[in-house]
Amino acid sequence: MQDLTPQKRIAFIQLLKRLPVNLRPLLLIKKDYNPKGLGLFLWGYAKLYAREKDPRYLEQIDRLLDLLEGLKSRDCSGNGWGYNFDWQSRRYTNNRLFLLLSCAMFCTIMFRRCFV
């Protein structure tokens, strides 16, 4: 898909998203974790634990922190995250786990809320 124009790539992605049949397995697109989605779950479990102090929530928090640790972007020296897929806009393409400010800031805020 690297040789497609940005417009064709966006059209292909939109087609895959809108089809009533999931073609991703046929196209060998594997399931993966989205760092921003993990950050949302992390935030939710942190809020639940703060309210109820249930140790099961701490187990989930630890699991999510481990998953996020493994998805750190290789483009920075510290903690940073990008999306778990190649990301296409109208003007440019970012590779998988390319450091994106929106994703990195969101995950960083969730990390902070777990430890403060």
- Predicted TM-score (pTM) of this structure: 0.68
Q: How far, in Å, CA of 35 to CA of 82, rounded?
A: 7
Element (H, E) at 93: strand 93-94
Res 92: pLDDT: 64
Task: Tell me the pLDDT tens digit for each residue of 60-76.
Answer: 999 998 998 888 777 66
Res 21: pLDDT: 93
Res 104: pLDDT: 67
Res 102: pLDDT: 63
- Residues in the chain predicted with pLDDT less than 50, given as ranges, are none
